[in-house]
Structure 1
Amino acid sequence: MTITLIKNADLVVAWDESEKRHAYLPGGDVAFEDGVLRFVGRGYEGTADVEISGTGLMVMPGLVNIHSHPTSEPMNKGLIDEIGSPGLYNSSLYEFMPIFRSDAEAIPDCVRVALSELLLSGVTTLADLSMAHPGWLDLLAEAGMRVCIAPMFKSARWFTKNGHVVEYEWDEAAGVKAMEEAFALIQRAEQHPSGRLFGMACPAQIDTCAPELLRDSRAEAKARGLSWQIHAAQSVVEFHEITRRHGFTPIQWLHEMGLLDERAVIGHGIFLDDHPSTPWHTKRDLDILADTGTTVAHCPTVFARRGITLKDFGRYKRRGVNLGVGTDTYPHNLLDELRLVAYLARTQANDPRTMTTTDVFDAATIGGARALGRNDIGRLAVGCRADFVLVDATHPRMQPNHDPVRALIYAAGDRAVRDVYVDGIKVVGDGQVLTMDFKQAALNLSEAQKRIVARAPQQDWAHRPVDKIAPPTFKWL
């Protein structure tokens, strides 16, 4: 096997096992072989077949994104930036997002665009929450990324006929069949020759899944040793729907069914019983999340567009909730997402001390790894997978460089990401994706969006033209 050494890096964000936390290591060496880190420290004295000068570089662990929808979200760029249903508490889920869904021809380009953006922002592990589609596994493997596939299944679809009432069309048998197919697909992913694919059970939304589907999927996930993720507490509409059906908040209902533990992930988890938009007669939800060890997948951008946010990241963290971060929408840039996590938390808390950069970096590394049941990613330590990012510490956007990770998150962003490695294989080099044709996929997607826009009025309950649904920034002359 070939041993590769990154010699005398300006800085390594190394894992301090004694303190169980990341630490800055100046002048560090990183050696890897066969996709595994063999040395992280100073003064490497072993042999090396390939040596990379670490001068001017910061080596940091690859980022872990625990919630994303690559098959659909790139299509929405320029369309849903500013729209939400006023009659549905400003959510865009029920009225607008369904009318701009990608068709089968566009999905591969959607995925290539999303994964390229993610790689360029330092993401090495992704949870892909998508409906199963042809060629999914091979397409993910093409990117060279480590991917947790989460084929979504559900018992019902939601829709609105008027923009202020959400209705549900139920087919529980179809939900069971889709769940069985999802677990079969996960098994295929685990056997994929790339060796980088694994799986997670994913009943799509708390309000579109029958109780039996939730219980059965959770039991099967436990039997297979898989994480389990569900969208819950993601809209005011959903909060009211679940309290109406069951007399419990979404978090409490999941807890009543025994579904929450350290391998459970709540997608979004915003609308708790003490959120200003969903006050309830209890104040238990945050305690339930913390006490059960449940992870919250925090994706601020998609909600911030509609004036909605978690109240707040720092409060959840201090109570002991495990937090991960995702890119629920475009742009698929996790470094941008981390910046917004910090800014929204501080504005919601009216306190710049509600959280630290340590907290948000941990969420995007070890917090995400914990949610996926992995202790071999999200940190630079001997025995972990060789998933890491080389940041250009000399980049003008990184200067002055008093605190490099802060400089990366709050100033430089993906512009300073030079190289990305997954399993010791370079997938981004000199700021360019090496595994996929990002530029061509983006051009293809632009053409595909024209098809989607043309048919959108037929998908809309009111048959409105797109320029009425999403008015342009300026009048077209």
Structure 2
Amino acid sequence: MIKQITVIRNVETIVAYDEKTGSHAYLNNGDIAFDDTSILHIGGHYTGPFAVEEHGQGRMLLPGLINIHCHSDEEPLSKGIFDDMGTAALWGQAMYEYSGLIEISQEAREASLTIMLGDLIRSGVTTLLDIAGPHDAWLPTLVKSGARTYAAPGFREASWHVENSHRLEYRWDKARGREAYEQALACVDAAEAHPSSRIGGVIAPSQVETCSEDLLIEATAAAKCRGVPITIHAAQTMAEHEELLRRTGKTAVKYLEGLGILDERLILGHCIFLDSHSWTRERTQTDMELLSKRGTSVAHSPVTFSRSGMILESIGRYRRAGINVGIGTDSYPYNMLEEMRRALICARIAGKSVFDIKTGDILAMATLGGAKALGRTDIGRIAVGAKPDFSLVDLNHPAMQPVYDPLRNLLQCAAERAVEAVYVDGQCIARGGKLLGLDYDAAVQVMKEASKFAVSRIAKNDPRGRSLGELAPLSLPVLN
């Protein structure tokens, strides 16, 4: 069977992969041809057969962005509620005391997922790793989106409890954790066996400190046996860092190394508080050396953590140490281009220098870094033989004008507003800000109702029975 070939003529700027340098480079005024499995031609004039012809004048063709750490479930419902909140005794981190207060109804989970997918795709994401609780609509919705997706069903044996807003406790239920683990394995196996070639599975122990040593070791073996990645939240907060020191005398990285878990298959979520971080007590450099030596990847999500006053120190240092770093949006806003912008700014603040990281480095992290973390060389790049996953950026969009360096304009100014179309496997899955496989507008309406349900449950879910007004006062007073 002859595959349908599409050619886009005379693309003004192609962000192409340079085999010689192993990085991206601008290729101006060339054609790109592809079918539904691979890119066939880049640059110059394509003279081969084709079924569809499009024109690329005034456009930049950007490799598909790879989000290696995001959460659907109730996260879209949390928007704008606890952004000014935090627990002072836990270094200002809001996650432990507030994240469990937002409850999503089962009926709204598909809508929540749809909103996340829509926002990510519109910002140029073609591949994403979603860490969430498994539900009936999860895999079907991921497939319908048209994106390349990895389902990472989370599981843990301990839940968080904050006593009187000052003491973090861990409440263990190993039987329940084991049940969630078995459900997660079944979900990963279903994703891996799915007839769609665009979906896969990832083993995801939720947090390094909420799973026992035995479960972490067993989960790692399960990932290795299946040939899939494993991802764990680790070194993400000072509360976790101090808890592991109390239990084991080790940082998260040293603890995982001692369990034999650090390797190139592992993606560590956030990985901020290493022994070299200025907030910690160690003042050593061992963690970075271990991560580099073992080939472990880091999923960097600057927006969520900088919102709580926390910053990774710094991605320039991590990369110079030889650590593979990718980008993840974590929770809202699900905007990969805005996440990349914040990553650039936070790196320069943490590194105390404009030279800590460059715009091209951020793109490499969001593409090649993400691909490496997932163990792939066929995505995150525009190269012959790679998957035809890319976005088209409108260079004539007002926010892109005037154009000297189009990538800088996109990240520093225009963001998703200039993304005209997104392609995965050579098929357009979004155009003009509209998803072609999912009903985003309908999902928004469902989430409006779901928000009422979530708000009504907050006082019940709070151990102290506080109302939403007590927990999260409005940004401004309301005049009578």
Please indicate the TM-score interval, normalised by the length of the shorter structure: over 0.9
Determine the C-alpha separation between the residues in 2 that align with 1:172 and 1:451. Answer: 30
User: Which residue of the partner structure matches residue 335 of structure 2?
Assistant: 333
Amino acid at match of 1:394: N
The structural deviation recorded for 1:179 is: 2.1
Determine the C-alpha separation between the residues in 2 that align with 1:313 and 1:3. Answer: 40
- Equivalent residues in 2 for 1:40-439, closer than 5 Å: 40-280=42-282, 282-439=284-441
Determine the C-alpha separation between the residues in 2 that align with 1:350 and 1:315. Answer: 11
The structural deviation recorded for 1:222 is: 1.2
Determine the C-alpha separation between the residues in 2 that align with 1:283 and 1:384. Answer: 37
CA contact under 8 A between 1:73 and 1:328: conserved in structure 2? no
Deviates more, 1:351-360 or 1:181-190: 181-190
2:16 aligned with 1:35, yes or no? no
CA contact under 8 A between 1:260 and 1:292: conserved in structure 2? yes
**Structure 1, residues 183-214: CA drift from partner, whole Å, max 9, x if none?**
22112112223321001111100010000111
Q: With structure 2 as the length reference, what TM-score do the two structures score?
A: 0.97
CA contact under 8 A between 1:37 and 1:385: conserved in structure 2? yes
Task: Tell me the SS of whatever aligns to 1:245.
Answer: helix
Determine the C-alpha separation between the residues in 1 that align with 2:343 and 2:281. Answer: 23
Amino acid at match of 2:24: H
Deviates more, 1:425-434 or 1:303-312: 425-434
Choose the corresponding residue for 2:452, options 450, 453, 459.
450
**Structure 1, residues 296-321: CA drift from partner, whole Å, max 9, x if none?**
10001111111111011111111111
Task: Tell me the SS of whatever aligns to 1:175.
Answer: helix
Determine the C-alpha separation between the residues in 1 that align with 2:142 and 2:127. Answer: 11
**Structure 1, residues 379-412: CA drift from partner, whole Å, max 9, x if none?**
0111111111000011111112111111111111
Determine the C-alpha separation between the residues in 1 that align with 2:74 and 2:343. Answer: 23
Determine the C-alpha separation between the residues in 1 that align with 2:303 and 2:324. Answer: 20
Determine the C-alpha separation between the residues in 1 that align with 2:454 and 2:325. Answer: 35
Determine the C-alpha separation between the residues in 2 that align with 1:34 and 1:301. Answer: 34
Task: Tell me the SS of whatever aligns to 1:327.
Answer: coil
The structural deviation recorded for 1:283 is: 3.1
Amino acid at match of 2:36: D
Choose the corresponding residue for 1:441, options 440, 443, 468.
443
CA contact under 8 A between 1:28 and 1:41: conserved in structure 2? yes
Determine the C-alpha separation between the residues in 2 that align with 1:237 and 1:246. Answer: 14
CA contact under 8 A between 1:299 and 1:327: conserved in structure 2? yes
Determine the C-alpha separation between the residues in 1 that align with 2:344 and 2:316. Answer: 9
Amino acid at match of 1:109: A
CA contact under 8 A between 2:277 and 2:283: conserved in structure 1? no
Task: Tell me the SS of whatever aligns to 2:97.
Answer: coil
Determine the C-alpha separation between the residues in 2 that align with 1:206 and 1:115. Answer: 27
**Structure 1, residues 349-401: CA drift from partner, whole Å, max 9, x if none?**
21000111111101100100110111111001111111110000111111121
User: Which residue of the partner structure matches residue 462 of structure 1?
Assistant: 464
The structural deviation recorded for 1:468 is: 1.6
The structural deviation recorded for 1:443 is: 2.3
Determine the C-alpha separation between the residues in 2 that align with 1:214 and 1:147. Answer: 24
Q: With structure 1 as the length reference, what TM-score do the two structures score?
A: 0.98
Deviates more, 1:278-287 or 1:360-369: 278-287
Task: Tell me the SS of whatever aligns to 1:24.
Answer: strand
CA contact under 8 A between 1:273 and 1:284: conserved in structure 2? yes
Determine the C-alpha separation between the residues in 1 that align with 2:402 and 2:350. Answer: 29
Determine the C-alpha separation between the residues in 2 that align with 1:115 and 1:295. Answer: 23
Determine the C-alpha separation between the residues in 1 that align with 2:377 and 2:385. Answer: 10
Task: Tell me the SS of whatever aligns to 1:408.
Answer: helix
Deviates more, 1:204-213 or 1:448-457: 448-457
Determine the C-alpha separation between the residues in 2 that align with 1:349 and 1:336. Answer: 20
Amino acid at match of 2:86: G
CA contact under 8 A between 1:262 and 1:293: conserved in structure 2? yes
Choose the corresponding residue for 1:14, options 13, 16, 34.
16
Amino acid at match of 1:162: N
Stretches of structure 1 lacking an aligned partner (at least 5 in a row): none
Task: Tell me the SS of whatever aligns to 1:329.
Answer: coil
Task: Tell me the SS of whatever aligns to 2:106.
Answer: coil
Deviates more, 1:335-344 or 1:440-449: 440-449
Task: Tell me the SS of whatever aligns to 2:328.
Answer: strand
The structural deviation recorded for 1:425 is: 1.2
The structural deviation recorded for 1:177 is: 3.0
Task: Tell me the SS of whatever aligns to 1:363.
Answer: helix
Determine the C-alpha separation between the residues in 2 that align with 1:183 and 1:163. Answer: 35
State the identity as a percent.
Answer: 43
Determine the C-alpha separation between the residues in 1 that align with 2:21 and 2:275. Answer: 35
Deviates more, 1:422-431 or 1:4-13: 422-431
Amino acid at match of 1:16: D
The structural deviation recorded for 1:281 is: 6.1
Stretches of structure 2 lacking an aligned partner (at least 5 in a row): none
The structural deviation recorded for 1:328 is: 0.9
Task: Tell me the SS of whatever aligns to 2:117.
Answer: helix
Amino acid at match of 1:349: G
Deviates more, 1:99-108 or 1:417-426: 99-108
Aligned residues: 477
The structural deviation recorded for 1:71 is: 1.4
The structural deviation recorded for 1:440 is: 2.1
**Structure 1, residues 253-272: CA drift from partner, whole Å, max 9, x if none?**
00111111111111000011
